Amino acid sequence: MDGGSSSDKDSGAKPDAGSSAGDQDSGSSATAACTWSGAPSYQGSGSFTWYYFGQGTSMQNGQYKTACGYTGTESGQSDTVANIANSGIAKNTYFAAIPGANNFDTVGSCGMCVEITNGGTKIIATIIDECPTDNGQNPACASASHLDLSYDAWKALGYSVGNPSGTSWKAVGCPVTGNIVATLNSQGQVYFQNLAFPIAKVTSGGSQATQTQYGYWNVGSGSVTLTDVLGHSITGNLPGNGGDIGVQFPTAPSSCY
């Protein structure tokens, strides 16, 4: 097996807000950037392993559930995930786990997309999981420049060795379609998925919500305001049982992909 930390956490450095286009009401036609100030970027200094859910990801209601709260199914070593970027050079089988420590200190990167290159090959994958350091037992994930890729993403990139060094990746906007989707962990515990850009802040009922180390936000039903890492704010409606909230952040232009 070519790398692949099998202990990716199964429960849930926030990027700095960048060049803001200003707060936007729902339905805004504001243009988003391809990337943002402070977004992770490793040009020739990254590394990769690969994993698949069957190596140890927990299951809930017949589906695998990741540290960021995304759910998926598996066929062999190929995993398919709901509510992630799935157009252009992004696919719903392309995802990654990001290094985390101290109760998932990179949980703010959940839903972020990364552009990965290998020579002339380029893909976009969505961050859906944590690659834990396991108190030094998982040394690859002790480096912030490392990503643990889905097996399909790894295959698409065509690496010839198990843990290539000198690789390149950077955070980018996600080529998503449709609106943001809310899924419930339990009542009042909500994951926001299918994001154009990662979430920096959530406000519900006049109060700022908190994101836990397990990836979900503590919010109630009704109106909810989300702010992305570029500073765009949108207000949608959170259904009591989860689902489409009716809005999406301004997306990066197609020239970014």
**Residue pair 242/182 in contact by the 8 Å Cβ criterion:** yes
- In the chain, the largest separation of any two C-alpha atoms, in whole Å, equals 52
Given this model, what pLDDT does residue 6 score?
37
Dihedral of CA atoms 11, 96, 100, 118 in degrees, nearest 10, equals 170
CB atoms within 10 A of CB 115: 21
pLDDT of residue 18: 34
3-state SS, the chain, equals CCCCCCCCECCCCCCCCCCCCCCCCCCCCCCCCCCCCCCCEEEEEEEEEEECHHHCCCEECCEEECCCCCEEEEECCEEEECCCCCCCCEEEEEEEEEEECCCCCCHHHCCCEEEEEECCEEEEEEEEEEEECHHHCCHHHHCCCEEEEEHHHHHHHCCCCCCCEEEEEEEECCCCCCCCEEEEEECCEEEEECCCCCEEEEEECCEECCECCCCCEECCCEEEEEEECCCCEEEEEECCCCEECCCCCCCCCHHHC
The per-residue pLDDT string of the chain (257 residues; one tens digit each, 9 = 90 and over) reads: 334 443 454 433 333 333 333 333 444 446 689 999 999 999 999 999 999 999 999 999 999 999 999 999 999 999 999 999 999 999 999 999 999 998 899 999 999 999 999 989 999 999 999 998 877 778 889 999 999 999 999 999 999 888 898 999 999 999 999 999 999 998 899 999 999 999 999 999 889 999 999 999 999 889 999 999 999 999 999 998 999 999 999 999 999 99
Say if residues 96 and 147 touch (Cβ distance below 8 Å): yes
Q: Which domains are assigned to the chain?
A: 41-172 (2.40.40.10), 181-250 (2.60.40.760)
What pLDDT does 31 receive? Answer: 67
The pLDDT of residue 163: 87
Chain-centroid distance of CA 140 in Å reads 19
The CA-atom distances, in angstroms, between 222 and each of 47, 188, 233, 236 are: 42, 11, 16, 8
Q: Count CA within 13 A, CB hemisphere, residue 50.
A: 23
Confidence (pTM):
0.88
